[in-house]
């Protein structure tokens, strides 16, 4: 009798152990390359959403859905850091990394990137790629790159699928260089040029196809021949199809 009882107890214990082990893990690594955070950022957090597709995926709430990178914003960061989620049930998950003022997703103030292996560098403002978890194995994602030249988006309202956006250059006025940020919500041929006050095109900064996403470049006050231009006002013009966006900048000496 005792032997049968012990067998049943051992069977229950083994079953419980097996059940507790049926949880998957997602590991994410982010390489920070001179990545500079906002001054008001206090943390860099990663979050996961769960669902059959991104449109209907729901944020996994609480500590089960977030992971904190061991970085202390504000500042400029280099190096490779990893976070992980464990005890994940079988399903499809989506991963995003944000600068925040707290742990909760509601405190996010800037997007660092979504995991998306179909985008070069795995840093994109497009829909993240689904990560399949079988509830048993560990999923090691490709390294997400967060380089300095990626556009600093101050929240997703700037990401408008109907409008291409040329964000304010910084610094402005400038000497010797200014950074020009722009957003491409839908892939297409983009031209970004610098003109003088007489409408003469002096420098072509971008001329070609750009995928959806945020971009950034530095202009050093030179023309297409690499010659330094005189101090004064200039205009940055972004063109796509019939859309033209212009921004005034001033070069100091």
CATH number, domain containing residue 215:
2.60.40.4070
pTM of the model: 0.53
Q: Assess if residue 155 is contained within a domain.
A: no
Pick the last residue of a domain from 102, 124, 150.
150
**89 shares a domain with 22:** yes
**193 shares a domain with 134:** no
Pick the last residue of a domain from 150, 180, 203.
150
- What confidence score (pLDDT) does residue 153 get? 35
**101 shares a domain with 183:** no
Model confidence at 172, in pLDDT bands (50, 70, 90)? confident
**81-105: b or e for each residue (b if 16 or more CB lie within 10 Å)?**
bebbbeebeebbbbbbbbbbeebeb
pLDDT digits (tens, 9 = 90+) for 201-230: 999 999 988 877 777 888 999 999 999 999
Q: Assess if residue 140 is contained within a domain.
A: yes
**171 shares a domain with 110:** no
pLDDT at 13 over 80: no
What span, in angstroms and rounded, lies between the C-alpha atoms of 242 and 200? 19
- What confidence score (pLDDT) does residue 65 get? 92
Model confidence at 66, in pLDDT bands (50, 70, 90)? very high
pLDDT at 233 over 80: yes
- What confidence score (pLDDT) does residue 22 get? 62
Average pLDDT, the chain: 78
Q: Assess if residue 131 is contained within a domain.
A: yes
Task: Give the lowest-confidence range in 57-71, 101-115, 156-170.
Answer: 156-170
What span, in angstroms and rounded, lies between the C-alpha atoms of 176 and 193? 18
- What confidence score (pLDDT) does residue 127 get? 65
């Amino acid at each position: 009798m005792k032997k049968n009882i012990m067998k049943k107890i051992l069977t229950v214990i083994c079953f419980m152990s097996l059940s507790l082990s049926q949880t998957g893990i997602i590991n994410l690594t982010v390489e920070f390359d001179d990545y500079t955070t906002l001054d008001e950022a206090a943390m860099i957090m990663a979050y996961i959403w769960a669902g059959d597709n991104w449109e209907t995926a729901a944020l996994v709430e609480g500590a089960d859905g977030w992971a904190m990178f061991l970085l202390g914003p504000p500042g400029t960061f280099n190096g490779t850091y990893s976070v992980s989620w464990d005890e994940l049930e079988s399903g499809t998950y989506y991963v995003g990394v944000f600068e925040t003022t707290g742990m909760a997703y509601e405190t996010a103030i800037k997007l660092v990137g979504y995991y998306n292996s179909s985008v070069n560098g795995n840093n994109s403002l497009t829909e993240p790629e689904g990560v399949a978890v079988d509830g048993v194995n560990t999923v090691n994602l490709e390294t997400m790159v967060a380089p300095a030249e990626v556009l600093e988006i101050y929240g997703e309202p700037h990401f408008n699928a109907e409008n291409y956006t040329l964000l304010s250059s910084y610094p402005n006025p400038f000497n010797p260089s200014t950074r020009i940020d722009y957003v491409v919500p839908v892939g297409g041929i983009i031209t970004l040029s610098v003109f003088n006050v007489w409408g003469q095109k002096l420098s072509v900064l971008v001329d070609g196809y750009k995928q959806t996403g945020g971009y950034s470049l530095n202009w050093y006050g030179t023309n297409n021949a690499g010659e330094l231009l005189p101090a004064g006002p200039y205009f940055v013009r972004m063109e796509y199809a019939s859309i033209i966006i212009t921004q005034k900048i001033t070069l100091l000496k």
